[in-house]
Amino acid sequence: MAKDLVNTLADLKEQEAIKIVKDRLSAGEDPLKIMEDARKGMEIVGKRFSDSEYFIPDLVYSGEILKAVTELVKPKLTKAAESKKLGKVVFGTVAGDIHDIGKDIVVFMLDVNGFEVHDLGVDVPVQKFVDKIKETGASIVGLSGFLALAFDSMKETVEAIKAAGLRDKVKVMIGGGQMSDEIKNYTGADAYGKDAMAGVTLAKKWIGAQ
Amino acid sequence: MEKQWEEMSSDEKQEALFARWISPEGVKFVSPEAERLYKERTTRIKDAVQLKKKPDRVPVLLIPSFAPAYYSGLTPYDVMYNSEKIVPTWKKFYMDFQPDGHGSCEVPSPGKFLEILDFKLYKWPGHGVSKETTYQCIEGEYMKADEYNLFIHNPLHFLNYIWPARVFGALEPLQTLPPLAGVTEMYGVAFSFIPYGTPPVQAAYKALLEAGSEAMKWIGAVGNFGKDMAEAGMPAYVAAPTKAPFDVIGDTLRGTKGVMMDIYRQPDKLLEAMEALTPMFIQMGAGAAKMFGNPLIFLPLHKGADGFLSDAQYKKFYWPSLKNVIMGLVNEGVVPFIWAEGGYNSRLDIIGDLPKGKVIWLFDQTDMAKAKKALNGIACVGGNMPMHLLTVGSTQDAIDHAKRLIDICGKDGGYIMANGAFFDKVKWDNLKAIVDTVKKYGVYK
């Protein structure tokens, strides 16, 4: 009966995972426990991605499975899952750039790894980043961009954060298409992450979590 | 008597296309110097591709996006909304930098034309993104997950009527049009044409006619660019583009997320759809090469880059149909000018499975020493001039990197210097320094 949801999800067996969730729900199991197993499964997915065992299609597919699981469990939740968040992150694709695929994957991975992510979307004006950092008190900022034209937008965003007196309160990571350590230096950010899990690793390092 | 095209081997076809490219019909060179430059440049690229002998020096190509506009102090909007500005701007860029070829001047599509059709696949300067930025794709599921059978059974109908109805707002009524394959006898022939009498379909055709007029105005403004450039001594480095079947589905039909779900949920349908697309995309490239008398056909690769697929996924879903397109082109004498955007480090062991001297592999963020090693004796390699060296690096760093690339990849020929990704606003001094470095340092003794 209590089949292993953690591993089924980690192995990306969509139909099996959904069946297990349905069975466990109809057996009256605590929905919070099911969500906790799903979270553990996603942790394994993230680990396998870091280890180059999984790739972007596998991450995206795991997200779809998690979405289906969450939709099944949500109506049964009597109280919101009280998971303690590791830290707050403000994230967005910088001004002039409307690419969202890479950003969405990092936001998703930060979220399933326990961060409270404020996703500002794409083509985000400099001031909007500053305002959101102030409003949330976030300690991490993620700047995404696909175009080389984003180099300057990132630089301007980091400068605006500095001008607002927030630079020493936040760590800034950049990522996407043509980003690199050289561009990180140019923009004044703290780090460049080459993929979604690198972003998660940076964020965890910055807040002192394992 | 000369051999007919159909009787030629692929080697003979390639030679015939190179011969037409090197000695183009109807081109009146502006000076003996221009003629010399033109022949040197085309021959240089031919030698780099064929791997039969070393060229006189490493060829150098610049592959810009809107860089020519920025170079002249114009925005992408300026050139998309005033086609008259395109030719002088693009000419100035190529004439000032003097690379070994030009990439035509068709980056700026005419904005008014796009507006008439209400093109939804992209946002463009002044239309969803700022006038100072480049156009950007809006991915979506323009083909739904459950439409594979519809597509596979009649891909041309899907691409001619259903897909345009979704990406061009003004062409939405076209989806009501029936395939005319049903017209086989006199009886009932008018039935198939009833939809053409409806006001929405007639409005769509009116938009098509207007868009056609705008396209005609645009080509009137830019159409002579290639001939003018050839006459001034600079060949076009590609005749036209074609695409990898996986990218056609992942970029434009199903979207990145869609195609990734299909890998899991309906892998066989995905494979079948790519098979259906393959002959079309071979024909697209082979036809253009023959029409323009230029063997080089651009093949930009997107969603098979490092990280986008596992090795197993790449081998099953990306490479076989791409290889079929490449070989279909090669058999027609075409030289696929393959541009592996992003990283391709994990694919190097796979992509060398091709006959010798038939393609160019241009790389973006791939380790060039490894690329050269993997493709040595098989294919000409190139690219890799990193974006950060063009945009924020020092001129000396750019020069040093260019020299390093020539040392690593240029040794015995089979190498083309080029940028790794389309570029817009860069440091013009760095660009010039790279071209000049190749011309001095890249000479084969």
Tell me the average pLDDT of chain B: 96
CA distance A8 to chain B (A): 15
| Cα distances (Å, whole numbers) of residue B303 to B235, B262, B339 | 30, 14, 12
Inter-chain CB proximity A57 and B134 less than 8 Å: no
CA distance B136 to chain A (A): 7
DSSP codes, B92-127: HHHHHH--S-B--S-SS--HHHHHHHTB-SEEEETB
Q: Which residues pair with B123 in a beta bridge?
A: B136
Q: Give the model's confidence band at B247: pLDDT under 50 very low, under 70 low, under 90 confident, else very high.
A: very high
Q: Using CB atoms, which residue from B139, B308, B387 is nearest to A55?
A: B308
Q: Give the model's confidence band at B261: pLDDT under 50 very low, under 70 low, under 90 confident, else very high.
A: very high
* Residues B180/B191, Cβ–Cβ less than 8 Å: no
> How many interchain CB pairs under 8 A, A with B?
84
Portion 89-148 of A in contact with B at CB < 8 A: 96-99, 101, 123, 147-148
Residues in Cβ contact with A137 at an 8 Å cutoff, skipping those fewer than 6 apart:
A88
Q: Using CB atoms, which residue from B128, B307, B425 is nearest to A55?
A: B307
- What φ, ψ does residue B394 adopt, rounded to 5°? -80, 160
* Residues B116/B252, Cβ–Cβ less than 8 Å: no
Q: Is the pLDDT of residue A1 over 50?
A: no
| Beta pairing class for B240-241 and B136-137 | unpaired
Portion 34-63 of A in contact with B at CB < 8 A: 54-58, 60-61
Tell me the residue length of chain A: 210
Nearest 10 degrees: CA dihedral of B356, B361, B366, B367?
40
The SS3 of residue B344 is: coil
ipTM of the complex: 0.89
Residues in Cβ contact with A165 at an 8 Å cutoff, skipping those fewer than 6 apart:
none
Integer Cα distance of B240 and B226 in angstroms: 12
pLDDT digits (tens, 9 = 90+) for A107-125: 999 998 899 999 999 999 9
Integer Cα distance of B92 and B439 in angstroms: 20
Q: Is the pLDDT of residue B2 over 80?
A: no
Chain A residues closer than 8 Å to B263 by CB: 57, 61
Nearest CA in chain A to B255: A101
Per cent of chain A over pLDDT 70 is 95
Question: What's the mean pLDDT in B195-220?
Answer: 97
Chain B residues closer than 8 Å to A178 by CB: 387-388, 421
Q: Which overall architecture, per CATH, does domain B10-63+237-441 show?
A: Alpha-Beta Barrel (3.20)
- pLDDT for res A122: 95
Inter-chain CB proximity A147 and B391 less than 8 Å: no
Inter-chain CB proximity A60 and B261 less than 8 Å: yes
Q: What is the pTM of this model?
A: 0.94
Q: Using CB atoms, which residue from B132, B136, B392 is nearest to A183?
A: B392
Q: Chain B residues contacting A, CB < 8 Å? A: 123, 128-130, 132-134, 136, 138-139, 256-257, 260-261, 263-265, 307-310, 313, 342, 386-393, 421, 423-426
* Residues B388/B30, Cβ–Cβ less than 8 Å: no
What are the residue boundaries of the structural domains of chain B, listed by start?
10-63+237-441
Chain A residues closer than 8 Å to B130 by CB: 96
Q: Hey, what domains does chain A have and what are their CATH numbers?
A: 5-76 (1.10.1240.10), 87-207 (3.40.50.280)
Chain B residues closer than 8 Å to A99 by CB: 136
Integer Cα distance of B212 and B169 in angstroms: 16
| Cα distances (Å, whole numbers) of residue B147 to A122, A208, B173, B267, B404 | 30, 48, 19, 14, 49
What the block records as the tokens of B294 is 């230029």
CA distance B414 to chain A (A): 26
Task: Name residue A27's amino acid.
Answer: A
